[in-house]
Amino acid sequence: MTPVNYKKYPFTAKIRHHVSANNYMPVSELKFLPDSYPPLIKEIEWSSIFINSKPPKVLDIGCGKGVFLLSHALLYPDINILGLEIRSEAVDWINSVIKGESIGNCKALYYTVANSLPFIEDNSIDRIFYLFPDPWPKRRHFNRRAFNLSFLDETHRVLRNGGKLYLATDLDYVHDYHLKTLKHFGKFSINELQDRSKWDFPTTNKENFCLKNNIEVYRLVCEKT
């Protein structure tokens, strides 16, 4: 795998860490759509997304600036991976890198998973990654967390039997929240990894920071049962 030379693609846009609170809510709960709200997508013609015209087998939900997304695509060139991101500036930049590097099995989509995944077929996905999400630590902001029972119901629907949901965070209270929500949902087997030896995937920017600074990372592998 030849890594991307990111110096060729300077990120010049100003990107906000937090976007409008409405963007984290499903459209059914909003009285009006703000201009910044990601588009609603009901279906996708995959021939316009991936060079082999096939649907994705991997989802990266909350792909950020796409380091993991792009690295996964290069490491597994025969597997289509779709990234979902709520910030349009990041999506535009990722797709400019994809175009510049002619990566045919990868795409970033400007979309909020709060509106489910209607463009993904049942039992079609092998792996879903939800890595280092925004913690939204204040209780009044918990409703902005994408990880909830509706999210798990939708990921369970699109994963094939035996498909896996991968979670990672460096925050113990987010890890505890993930475990509590998963156990309440009850339709995934849960494997808490003690180290990275059984996590054979590229690192994210956040994970690189954690590894460099000896910050503990909590990893879960959840298999559809």
DSSP annotation string for 7-34: GGS---S---SS--GGGGS-GGG-SS--
CATH number at residue 132: 3.40.50.150
* Average pLDDT, rounded, for the chain: 93
Residue 5 lies in a domain: no
| 187 token code pair | 């339709």
Number of separate domains in the chain:
1
In the predicted model, is pLDDT for residue 15 greater than 90? no
Residue 10 lies in a domain: no
Residue 4 lies in a domain: no
Residue 89 lies in a domain: yes
Task: Identify which of 150, 157, 129 has the alpha carbon closest to the alpha carbon of residue 69.
Answer: 129
Residue numbers of the domain that contains 70? 44-224
Residue 19 lies in a domain: no
| 9 token code pair | 């693609």
Residue 1 lies in a domain: no
Amino acid at 87: R
Question: Could you give the residue numbers annotated as active site?
Answer: 134
Query: Quick one: what percent of the chain has pLDDT higher than 90?
Result: 79
Residue 90 lies in a domain: yes
Give residue-wise pLDDT tens across range 165-223: 999 999 999 999 999 999 999 999 999 999 898 899 999 999 999 999 999 999 999 99
43 — pLDDT class (breaks 50, 70, 90): very high
Residue 206 lies in a domain: yes
What pLDDT, on a 0 to 100 scale, did the predictor assign at position 17? 59
What pLDDT, on a 0 to 100 scale, did the predictor assign at position 23? 85
Give residue-wise pLDDT tens across range 88-119: 999 999 999 999 999 999 999 999 999 999 99
